[in-house]
Amino acid sequence: MKEEQVQDPNELNENVINEEQATEETVSEAGTVSAEEAGDAARMQTLADELQGRVLRVQADFDNFRRRTQKEKEELAQYATSKLINELLPVLDNFDRALVTAPAGPETEAFTKGVNMIFRQLDGVLKSEGLTAMESVGQPFNPEYHQAIMQVESEEHEEGIVTEEVQKGYLLKDKVLRPAMVKVSM
């Protein structure tokens, strides 16, 4: 049979106490921080704070970039038709001139009526896209909306008032597509 070794309970208590003391000494030695380790910790904290600041700035820059590109996308979608409409404005002007100078008479009445219907249809399509003609005559001169090509003396208008519109100006939604060419009183 095997012999069992039985330890004295006092010896067990001494072993446990010795192990606890050894653990406490190790912890207290680790808890003692040298000046060099404290400096390293401070540098690490400063570096961590600096990196955190950089991360926050990069995140803010990215958020600003995302908002700016979203706004540009919306503007592009809103004004995507501006190039085509801008190219159609001379056609609109020519229709307007043709209707003003159309000869009166029974033989040209049907032709004039047909041209007028085409003009109204084109004008309706452009208005549905957000095109509106500016009303300039009688308004104060505004360089954002008007292009002055001449100053004229006028007794019926004050100085700086648009007296005549040479070429119509147009707005596309809320943006000036083409300024009106006007004569201004002096």
Q: What is the pLDDT of residues 104-135, one digit of tens each?
A: 888 888 888 998 999 999 999 999 988 999 99
pLDDT more than 90, % of the chain? 46
Reported as a single tens digit per residue, the pLDDT across 76-103 is 877 778 888 889 999 999 988 888 888 8
Distance CA 151, CA 153 (A): 7
Number of neighbours of residue 10 by Cβ within 10 angstroms: 8
Report the Cα 55 to chain-centroid distance in Å: 24
| Contact yes or no for 72/164 (Cβ under 8 A) | no
Distance CA 185, CA 183 (A): 7
* Ramachandran sector of residue 107 (left: φ over 0; alpha: ψ -120 to 50; beta: rest): alpha
What is the maximum span of the chain, computed from C-alpha positions, in angstroms?
A: 140
Does residue 27 have a pLDDT over 50? no
